[in-house]
Amino acid sequence: MKRYVILISGRGSNMQALIEANLPGTCAGIISNRPEAAGLAWAAARGLPTAIIDHKAFPSREAFDAALAAEIEARGGELVLLAGFMRVLTEGFVRRFAGRLVNIHPSLLPAFPGLHTHEAALAAGVRIHGCTVHFVTPALDSGPIIIQAAVPVLAGDTAEALAARVLAQEHRIYPQAARAILTGRCRLADDGRVVWQGEATPAGAALCVPAEG
């Protein structure tokens, strides 16, 4: 049974969704770079192992990432799931865990990488928005896509309302992606493509247009 670790920086709502999904593996640890992260208390209350690697205690990003990598490997982590982990990881760290490092991003990548994705989506006037689970590469939010979910952008939407709609989908697809990787149904091929076993080719198209009055 594979061992996975989850990295958080805050309340860890995606971490909670992953844990509550009863993934086919062993949670080897919930690790945070912030001692005050609320998700640590949630995890500890459920008997999950936790650890703090405070980024403020290190003189450089490289030193922090080295300590974080050592903690993950000491716990036998075979899959690393970023769940609201608010650190840009160094290229050395990303390459160390290549093919085993996964993130969820609140947009339909490659659209709207980085921060403030919901505001950017509203400003661009897109009709659909969503979230993406992807393998992490050194280029920010540019790794091979594993799974995506889309939501409509509604008339009168605020960034907060849109974010809540997207977050509900994050909680749905992140456990699906993690389960597929842990069971071997989904993997990153040597050529950088994401390969799914038994993936069907859907017919037709999904349309997102305003409803007729």
List the catalytic residues: 105
Of 3, 5, 2, 186, nearest to 82 (Cα)? 5
| Cβ contact 75:5 at 8 Å | yes
Q: What is the C-alpha to C-alpha distance for residues 179 and 183, in angstroms, rounded to an integer?
A: 6
Segment holding 30, helix H or strand E = strand 26-32
Q: Return the bridge partners of 188, or none.
A: 194
Residue with tokens 């770079």: 33
| Cβ contact 171:17 at 8 Å | yes
Residue with tokens 């091929």: 189
Segment holding 103, helix H or strand E = strand 101-105
